[in-house]
Structure 1
Amino acid sequence: MAQTAAPPEAMSIDQQVNNVFATVTGPFVNLIFAPLPGTSFPWIVLWLVVAASIFTVYFGLIQLRGFWHSIELVRGDYSDPNDAGEVSHFQALTTALSGTVGLGNIAGVAVAVGIGGPGATFWMILAGLLGMATKFTECTLGVKYRNEYPDGTVSGGPMYYMKKGFAERGKPGGRFLAVVFSIFCILGSLGGGNMFQANQAHAQIEGIVGDFPGWITGIIFAGVVFAVIVGGIKSIARVTEKVVPFMGILYVGAALIILLVNYDQIGAAFGAIFAGAFTGLGVAGGFVGALIQGFKRAAFSNEAGVGSAAIAHSAVRTKEPVTEGYVSLLEPFIDTVVICTMTALVITISGTLITDPETGLFVLNEAGTSIATVGDVSGVALTSAAFATGFSWFPYVLAVAVILFAFSTMISWSYYGLKAWTYLFGEGKTTELLFKVIFCIFVVIGAAASLGPVIDFSDAAIFAMAVVNISALYVLMPIVRRELASYNERLKSGAIKRFH
């Protein structure tokens, strides 16, 4: 018997807001994440993967040829402190990483492996490696077309290279694309880069201390976030250069210990990954299911092509745009190839997932008993269960990691949203302060409310940024190749010298 919908007066205010918002924005969300005909593969993921493949070929496997030089640049070997910009190569990298390394690495990978099987890991790694070329393209352009101001501050990102780069090439539409991108960036920063993070952090706190008012969590988070972001990108970079390495070392270190304890199973785990990638053995959906889940996780995790990282990398101290393109190569590698793969290996080796002989689906296993299908448990719970096989206390560490990941994501996305805001409404301390206050208000809202449809819309806005950004990258990639050829020639001839 069909249930009758509750009358509006019986719903909470949150529910009524959610229903109205879902009705208004639902078509847009469905459009962005719509699957390709006859598949469950979102077209936006294909859009990102195809672009990454094209840039990989166009720049001659730059992610492999330029990997060592990327490390040299991050170490500061070619850094001139007198160059224009606000942060070092290392700080720019950690700021961008803090916006991408987060819940997707913990929960998203678990869901991908749970649905697509261990084989999803192979396709996730491949998509991450391809995405390195996309990051190289967008971050080179971000530095080349940034605005540099007399007080030493800079503003850059897709909106600037759309406006200036299109004009340089005599192409129409650059200004329009810049405005559209900026609008989506602001919406994405307030939702997925802010409210969702605060909401999930509060959920983890409740899991430890029990019922706890969300508005209190929100106010605490808002206060800490404001204390960091009020100082601008330099303040954000000083925090992220400490928090991101700590998070990464803590998480990867725990994963490595579990892998070392179970070293005799590592070979079998890689065997399962390769077998699942190409044959889909034991996986519902087979080869296609593994490929879809792997590509989806990589695209949603490292944000290559979204354009957000180009905003952070634009603040770097350099006079050579290509140097930051090289540095940005490391971002998808660290985020997807290293951290996401560690999560997948631990889940595969731990035996947390087993195959249900009746359905062929992977199910969560605890003490040898199937307790729920992956679709019935959160990705965080699956990852927590996998790590708990090696450390009974790891769920507490995971809770701390989730809170730190949420915090670092918020401060990075505040900068992305701020630069889109000032592009639309002008530079100035008053304009910037207004956005920072608005951003912190949304932190409180996110922690205190149920915002499902709002989060869905903001996620769609983030990937709508990719539609606009990649369209621009196709137009501007000849400029990047010209910059790359010039830089490599001068580097080879010794015209570009080491400073350390």
Structure 2
Amino acid sequence: MHVHPPNHGLRALFWLILSIFSFPSFATSTDQTPNFDQHVNSFISPIAEQLSAIVFFKISIFGYSVPIIVLWLSLAAVFFTFYLNFVNLRGLGTAFRLIRGDYTNPKAEGEISHFQAVATAISGTVGIGNIGGVAVAITIGGPGATFWLILAGFLSMSTKLVECTLGVKYRKVNPDGSISGGPMYYLEHYLKSRNYPTLGKCLGGFYALALVIGCLGIGNMFQSNQAYAQLLVVTGESQSFFADKGWLFGVIMAVLVALVILGGISSIAKVTAKLVPIMALLYVVSACVILTMSAEHLPDAIALIFSSAFTLESATGGAVGAIIVGFQRAVFSNEAGIGSSSIAHSAVQTDEPASEGLVSLFEPLIDTVFICTLSALVVISTAYPTGLIHGELVGIELTSAVFAHHIHWAPYPLAIAALLFAFSTTIAWSYYGLKGWTYLFGEKKSTKLLFKLMFCSFVALGSMIHLDAVLQFSDALVFLIAVPNVLGLYLFAPLVKREVEDYLNRIKLGEIVNYRHLNENHEAYPSYKRFWIRLTSRSQYRSEQT
């Protein structure tokens, strides 16, 4: 059973952070008396710059400055891909069958199915970054950043497998039957079993602390900031009622978030399950329509992606600059190496940890390799031929301008998608942050309520800050979380390799039961019946069994 120490100093630290961000109007005063939005932005920008300077400390490689943290994550993705013998390719077939329910033991411990686990995790990753973050990457790193973003997404599938396997293996079952898991638990549990209890507690506690702070950036302020930016685009920009009223939008969004997260994980799951599939489909269809309308520029866009990925002469830093930006955006998009997704995956119904690791391969594949690539093609195929890329637009404003270039009313459905993506991502990340908070302070209702109130206050804050400050602050916090997690993944690599290889071998030998091919008496269905089962949905199959 996990023991929660008093941590009075840590409590004081959290209250200090909350007081700094919640009451910035008392920090300084000027003769010109800037409005509240400008005051908040001027206050947090120096903090973001200092934090970013620490987290993104750079070294020189072949004359280029490269953040050490980017190398840390990139090398981990490459290492796990080769160490696990390209499991991100050879494990996809098994992963698909697992999501379909082939090897799900109905009597195994857990709260959700493989499909629900991967859907929940994707709801926390497919968000505003897939729309605006890709445009930021192209603006900063050039079209070549897209190639490296795709490659990073492919490699990070292996990292995702390792952390999600460990999330299930070292999860904790609470007295009420609910499950808690994630890097803070497997860091502590595994190292304690190796007679390093102090190191385990330190790494687990550091991760939990970083997760709580990080969720306020990547899953909170960045989301509300970009949602507010898109709202301004479709409501008149500087002439909009919401211009210079970021605080008002922030308060409205914070109230809506509070109405959901105060109901707990069941309320969060219900909302995200309804919003995410619809909005994802809406965005994919809309993007495909835009690509169809710019089809004549599509071949040039693809060629530009590859040529810019390897050029050494570019205003954006050449190939090295594209690599850095591409990998940074990929991590921001799919969270591989951060460990947050393992929190959702740890609740899956399974007695085979490796099974959920294989299922998690689909997250970077869908989120980064597919959706982010789609967004990049939309931007490049229109923004470069029209010159939009050379303007002052950045982030989601650039994506919106691309949509409007083809269909004048297209920014409106994009705005709806952006708002709902931001909302669903925010409430999903509130659960991740809450798990880190309860790891540190326990499961009392009062401590949970305190976190939820603090989380909502940061939602309001995010819409008051300009993109540069929010993006810089979010990236720094997200990459900070990856430090203890990736360190733990290296320590656990041999164990995970044994787990995965043993599981795949047992499937080949037929030692793992395919429950979709068994009737209620655990007898094998005839071949024609198995074929029919493959054509029917999981819900139909379950109703048939009952």
Equivalent-residue separation in structure 1 for 2:152 and 2:479 (angstroms): 16
Identify the residue that residue 273 of structure 1 maps to in structure 2.
305
| AA partner of residue 70 (structure 1) | A
Correspondence for 1:160 among 164, 175, 185:
185
Partner of 1:358: none
- Pair 381,473 (structure 1): closer, same or farther in 2 beyond 3 Å: same
* 1:422-441 map, 5 Å: 422-441=438-457
Range that drifts further, 101-110 or 265-274: 265-274
Determine the C-alpha separation between the residues in 1 that align with 2:65 and 2:506.
Answer: 47
Structure 1 residue corresponding to 2:380, chosen from 348, 367, 375: 348
Q: Does 1:256 align with 2:272?
A: no
2:390 maps to which of 360, 369, 373? 373
Q: CA separation in 1, counterparts of 2:49 and 2:398?
A: 29
Matched residues in 2 for 1:293 and 1:334: separation? 20
Q: CA deviation at 1:222?
A: 2.8
2:339 corresponding residue in structure 1: 307
How many angstroms apart in 1 are the aligned matches of 2:67 and 2:124? Answer: 23
Match of 2:129 in 1: 104
Q: Deviations over 1:421-455 (max 9, x none)?
A: 00001123333233223322332333456797576
- Structure 1 partner of 2:423: 407
Larger deviation, residues 378-387 vs 132-141: 378-387
Contact 1:89 1:327 in 2 (8 A): yes
How many angstroms does 1:56 deviate by? 0.4
Conserved in 2, the CA contact under 8 Å of 1:148 and 1:154?
yes
Contact 1:421-1:435 within 8 A present in 2 as well: yes
Q: Could you list the per-position Cα deviations for residues 210-241 of structure 1 after superposition, in whole angstroms to 9, with x for gaps in the alignment?
A: 22344443343233323322333333223223
Q: Gaps (5+ residues) in structure 2?
A: 1-27, 517-546
Could you give the per-residue CA deviations for residues 152-204 of structure 1, whole angstroms, max 9, x where no partner exists?
20111000000001122334611101111111111111233213322332333
Match of 1:211 among 217, 236, 241: 241
Query: Alpha-carbon deviation of 1:385?
Result: 2.5
Residue number in structure 2 paired with 1:416: 432
Q: Does 1:185 align with 2:211?
A: yes
- Quote the offset at 1:93 in angstroms: 1.6
> Which range is displaced more, 243-252 or 323-332?
243-252
- Give the one of 145, 149, 162 matched to 1:120: 145
- Counterpart residue type for residue 276 of structure 2: V
Pick closer, same or farther for the CA change 1:323–1:235 going to 2, 3 Å.
farther
Does the Cα contact within 8 Å between 2:146 and 2:305 map onto a contact in 1?
yes
CA distance in 2: counterparts of 1:17 and 1:252, whole angstroms: 35
Q: Which moved more, 1:308-317 or 1:416-425?
A: 308-317
8 Å CA contact 2:97, 2:103 repeated in 1: yes
The 5 Å alignment of 1:44-193 reads 44-171=69-196, 173-193=199-219
Output one character per residue of 1:301-340: Cα deviation in whole Å (capped at 9) or x when no partner: 2221011111121122222111111111111111111011
Letter in 1 for 2:201: R
In structure 2, the CA distance between the partners of 1:346 and 1:59, relative to structure 1 (3 Å rule), is: same
- Once residues 215 and 102 of structure 2 are traced to their aligned partners in structure 1, the CA distance between those partners, rounded to angstroms, is 33
> CA deviation digits over 1:103-129, x for unaligned, max 9?
222222223223433322211111110
1:458/1:274 Cα in 2 relative to 1: closer, same or farther (>3 Å)? closer
8 A contact 1:142–1:314 mirrored in 2:
yes
The CA distance in 1 between the partners of 2:161 and 2:231, in whole Å, is 37
CA gap 1:453/1:114 in 2 versus in 1, 3 angstroms: closer
State yes or no: 1:335 paired with 2:367: yes
Q: State the secondary structure of the residue aligned to 2:387.
A: strand
Superposition map of 1:342-491 within 5 A: 342-350=374-382, 352-354=383-385, 365=387, 373=390, 376-447=392-463, 456-491=472-507
Please say which of residues 58-67 and 274-283 is displaced more in the overlay: 274-283
1:201 matched to 2:231: no
The aligned amino acid for 2:409 is W
Residue 34 (1) aligns with residue 57 (2): yes
Change (3 A) 1:166 1:121: same
Query: Bigger CA drift: 127-136 or 376-385?
Result: 376-385
Per the alignment, in what secondary structure is the counterpart of residue 393 of structure 1? Answer: coil
Q: Is the partner of 1:41 in helix, strand or coil?
A: strand
1:292 aligns to 2:324 (yes or no): yes
TM-score normalised to the size of structure 1?
Answer: 0.88
Counterpart residue number, 2:3: none
Residue 399 of structure 1 deviates from its aligned partner by 1.0
The structural deviation recorded for 1:467 is 1.0
Which has the higher mean CA deviation after the structures are superposed, 119-128 or 78-87?
A: 78-87
With 141-150 and 422-431 compared, the bigger mean Cα shift is at 422-431
1:126/1:228 Cα in 2 relative to 1: closer, same or farther (>3 Å)? same
AA partner of residue 194 (structure 1): N
Question: Comparing 465-474 with 194-203, which one deviates more in the overlay?
Answer: 194-203
Deviation at 1:263, TM superposition (A): 4.3
User: 3-state DSSP class of the match of 1:87?
Assistant: coil
**Match in the other structure for 1:221:** 253
TM-score (normalizing by structure 2): 0.81
1:237 aligned partner: 269
Question: Which range is displaced more, 329-338 or 39-48?
Answer: 39-48
The 1:220/1:85 distance shift into structure 2, 3 A limit, reads: farther
Cα distance change, pair 395–312 in 1 and its aligned pair in 2 (3 A): same
Worse-superposed segment, 202-211 or 295-304:
202-211
**Amino acid corresponding to residue 179 of structure 1 in structure 2:** G
What's 1:361 paired with?
A: none
- Indicate the larger mover: 218-227 or 331-340: 218-227
Tell me the distance in 2 between the aligned counterparts of 1:293 and 1:194: 22
Q: Give yes or no for contact 2:92–2:358 (8 Å, CA) kept in 1.
A: yes
Query: Per the alignment, do residues 20 and 244 of structure 1 end up closer, same or farther by CA in structure 2, a change over 3 Å counting?
Result: closer
Letter of the 2:355 counterpart: T
Percent same amino acid at aligned positions? 51
CA shift at 1:40, angstroms?
4.3
Could you tell me which residue of structure 2 aligns to residue 357 of structure 1? none
Kindly tell me: are residues 387 and 35 of structure 1, through their superposed partners in 2, closer, same or farther at Cα, counting changes over 3 Å? farther
Mean CA deviation greater in 91-100 or 153-162: 91-100
Q: Matched residue of 1:392: which SS?
A: coil
State how far apart, in whole Å, the 2-side matches of 1:47 and 1:323 are. Answer: 27
| Structure 1 residues 241 and 73: CA distance shift in structure 2, 3 A | farther
Deviation at 1:11, TM superposition (A): 4.7
In structure 1, the gaps of 5 or more residues are 1-5, 355-363, 367-371
Match for 2:64: what amino acid?
T
